[in-house]
Amino acid sequence: MSAAVTTLGGAAQTAGVVVAALLAAAALLVASPRARAAAMLAALVLTPVLLVANIWSTPQFEPLRERAGLALAASLGGLVLLGGGAWLIHRRPQLLALAAAAALPFRVPIESGGDTANLLVPLYLVIAAGALAYALPRLRAPRGLEEMERGDEREVRHERGPLEWLLAAVIVLYAVQATYSSDFDGALAQTIFFYVPFALLFALLVRIRWTAQLAGRCLIVLLVLAAAFVGIGFVEYGKRELLLNPRVISANQFESYFRVNSLFFDPNIYGRFLVTVMLSVVAVLLWSRRPALVAGCAIALVLLWAGLVLTLSQSSFTALLVGLTVLGALRWGMGRAAALLGAFAVTALLAVLVAPGAVGLEGSADNITSGRWSLVRGGVELAAEKPLTGWGSAAFETEYRARQDSSSERASAASHTIPITVAAEQGLGGLALYLALVVVAIVTLLRGARRSIARAAVAAAFVALVVHTLLYAAFLEDPLTWALLALGVALAPAADPSASAEP
């Protein structure tokens, strides 16, 4: 009987993951605001139910099982907080953009049963509040919802395009391939913590009436956060102590260099965030004609560059260089951008030749790439074994560890090269969808980007992020990806023909 119940519960969870993915896809694709609202609310209810069902009998959930009253009180408090946030966002929809920008970087370490998970709890609350603010009025509205949306000057109608279809296809395929994964729990976590909530975030952000002023305010929020993170990084470097991430702390003890990660759990993710903000500031600098603004941007860039250097993140340095090239091409044309890129490349080559050890380019390929070369090779071998279907969503760590005889401490959840991870886990179908998504997204964001500072910044930041994922990890698992895509699509001229051109 117990085995039958366990099997039934596993089947329900498997079906639940697919249903959650379908609901997220519906939020991206359906034309009816009422149907979209219903899909959002259903996803908000289903994802926590799936999470609790998955971890109910595990040691991680034991503290909450033993303190049911405390858990209930916390849940009620969360609902009150969500209600207040939803009311504010309903009154002023642009608050969603500012709140999302403020919450994007923050990961909260949650310890339970001896394990620690770094979750984007503040961002989840913002997304839930935004979804409630969007969905509830549309579900109870007495008149035609399409008419209500047209009459609401705070929102714009958004017609789905190829990008939304590809995003929906990626989410659904990931959920379907979780059904035969050797790490279903990991696939479930990826779906309910990243793919589903971030799809809702995209669906909400593209329907905000974006202006250059709102984009500028979001940049100010990100810049203030980045400056604070850099300050914390300076303190860490001065004390030679990290606040978070035991793995990085341990690595620093055995290396001749010291890497900071501020309040992030990884120097490379910290570097990615700084690069995104830096490229946005550079875009303002390149197109601005006000001396005071130019001077302010220059000062901010010096500060952020100093913070980025302390991460020693090779992937972030490369992403920054590519992003600057994109901005140069948008501002001055491809010829001058290529010349600038060549100058950077020559400078980098000279630095490597003069002092290869100073930039970490001594030793084997694994030493130079911080162990990523072996991960890439292992990922290629995994992909070659099952080229059509792959090993299943989130299965890279399990399969790589089994074949490389690697301990859980040394195993990686990804190959640190996203296309190889996708090919190993999802086969040729998943790889084709990934490549199509990247191409369509870049074309969409670059089209007409030179006529808008905000769109130029978004395009450069997204291209830099894609390059970063080629050298590290976390593509659609990073909320920055979805936020940049949503902002770029919403700012496109076709998204709001009535919007005036940005100077």
pLDDT in tens, 383-441: 899 999 999 999 888 888 877 665 444 445 555 789 999 999 999 999 999 999 999 99
- Say if residues 383 and 376 touch (Cβ distance below 8 Å): no
Average pLDDT, stretch 482-492? 94
Q: Residue 305 CB: number of other CB atoms within 10 A?
A: 13
Residues 230 and 153 in one domain: no
**Residue 338 is encoded by which pair of tokens?**
């290529």
More confident residue, 243 or 453: 453
Number of domains in the chain: 2
Q: What pLDDT does 492 receive?
A: 81
Question: Averaged over 464-468, what is the pLDDT?
Answer: 96
Identify the CA nearest to 131 among candidates 184, 198, 192. 198
Tell whether the model's pLDDT for residue 33 goes beyond 50.
yes
pLDDT of residue 333: 82
Same domain? For 328 and 463 the reply is: yes
Handedness of CA 421, 48, 162, 501 (dihedral sign): negative
Please determine, for residue 459, whether its predicted confidence score (pLDDT) is greater than 90.
yes
- Rounded to 10°, the helix 212-239/94-103 angle is 20
Q: Percentage of residues in the chain with pLDDT exceeding 90?
A: 52
Nearest to 478 by CA among 303, 305, 268, 300: 268
Cβ contacts of 88-92, under 8 Å, gap ≥ 24: 88/129, 89/129, 89/130, 89/133, 90/133, 90/136, 90/137, 92/154
3-state secondary structure 366-383: HHHCCCHHHHHHHHHHHH
How far is Cα 328 from Cα 330, in angstroms, rounded to an integer? 5
Q: What stretch of H or E contains 101?
A: helix 94-103
Q: How far is CA 290 from the centre of its chain?
A: 33
Higher pLDDT, 134 or 345: 134
84 within a domain of the structure (yes/no)? yes
Spatial distance between the Cα atoms of 285 and 426, rounded to a whole number of angstroms: 41
Residue 152 has pLDDT above 60, yes or no: no
Tell me, yes or no, whether 438 lies in a domain.
no
Candidates 301, 298, 273; CA nearest to 461 is: 273
CA torsion sign for 385, 387, 392, 396 is: positive
Position 81 in a domain: yes
Q: Is 236 among the domain residues? A: yes
The whole-angstrom separation of Cα 367 and Cα 348 is 19
136 and 226 fall within a common domain? no
Residue 233 lies in a domain: yes
- Rounded Cα–Cα distance for residues 232 and 354 (Å): 32
Mean predicted confidence (pLDDT) in 431-458: 94
Lowest mean pLDDT among 63-72, 127-136, 280-289: 63-72
> Does residue 374 fall inside a structural domain?
no
Structure tokens at 146: 């399409």
The string of pLDDT tens digits covering residues 290-337 is 889 999 999 999 999 999 999 989 899 999 999 999 999 999 887 777
What's the confidence (pLDDT) of residue 370?
Answer: 53
Q: Out of 158, 178, 199, pick the residue that ends a domain.
A: 158
Instruction: List all residues 6 or more positions away from 238 whose beta carbon is below 8 Å from its beta carbon.
Output: none
% the chain with pLDDT above 70: 78
In this structure, are 223 and 357 located in the same domain?
yes
pLDDT for residue 489 is more than 70 = yes
Higher pLDDT, 266 or 281: 281
Shared-domain flag, residues 482 and 335: yes
Tokens of 317: 């340095």
217-250 as b/e, with b when 16 or more CB fall inside 10 Å?
ebbebbbebbeebbebbbebbeeeebbbbeebee
**DSSP 8-state assignment for residue 501:** P
Task: Tell whether the model's pLDDT for residue 457 goes beyond 80.
Answer: yes
Regarding whether 230 and 99 lie in a shared domain, the answer is no
Q: Check if the beta carbon of residue 484 is closer than 8 Å to that of residue 463.
A: no
Residues 346 and 458 occupy one common structural domain: yes
* Residue in 501, 398, 388, 491 with CA at minimum distance from that of residue 447: 491
Residue type, 116: T
Q: Which CA distances in Å does 367 have to 78, 359, 480?
A: 46, 12, 29
Q: What pLDDT is recorded for position 155?
A: 54
Q: What length is written for the chain?
A: 503
Judge if 135 and 264 occupy the same domain. no
CA 380 to chain centre: 24
Region of residue 405 (left: phi > 0; alpha: psi -120 to 50; beta: else): left
Q: Give the H/E segment covering residue 116.
A: strand 115-119
Lowest mean pLDDT among 249-263, 415-429, 457-471: 249-263
- Asked whether the beta carbons of 243 and 263 are under 8 A apart, the reply is yes
Contact 445, 458 (CB under 8 A): yes
Amino acid at 92: R
pLDDT value of position 202: 97
H/E segment holding residue 118: strand 115-119
Q: Which of 96-110, 152-166, 252-266, 488-502 has the lowest mean pLDDT?
A: 488-502
Q: Which of 124, 158, 192 is the last residue of a domain?
A: 158
Same structural domain for residues 150 and 270? no
Domain boundary among 158, 182, 203: 158
Average pLDDT rounded to a whole number, residues 101-115 = 74
pLDDT digit string (tens) for 356-381?
Answer: 555 555 554 445 555 566 677 878 88
Let me know whether 154 and 218 are in one domain: no
Nearest Cα residue to 95 out of 227, 204, 252, 246: 204
Interstrand relation of 115-119 and 108-112 (parallel, antiparallel or unpaired): antiparallel
Per-residue pLDDT, averaged over 160-182, amounts to 95
What is the reported pLDDT for 397?
A: 84
Structure confidence at residue 20 (pLDDT): 96
The H or E element spanning position 20 is helix 2-29
Residues 56-80 have pLDDT tens digits of: 776 666 666 667 676 677 778 778 8
Q: Are residues 340 and 470 in the same domain?
A: yes
Note whether 224 and 316 are same-domain residues: yes
274 phi and psi angles, rounded to 5 deg: -60, -40
Full residue range of the structural domain in which residue 277 is found: 212-362+447-495
Q: Which is more confidently placed, 26 or 341?
A: 26
Question: Is the pLDDT confidence value at 262 over 50?
Answer: yes
pLDDT band per the 50, 70, 90 thresholds, residue 114: very low
At residue 500, does pLDDT exceed 50?
Answer: no
Q: Lowest-pLDDT range, 1-5, 161-165, 226-230, 294-298?
A: 1-5
- 54 occurs within a structural domain: yes
The answer to the question of residue 477 being in a domain is yes
pLDDT band at 151 (very low <50, low <70, confident <90, very high): very low
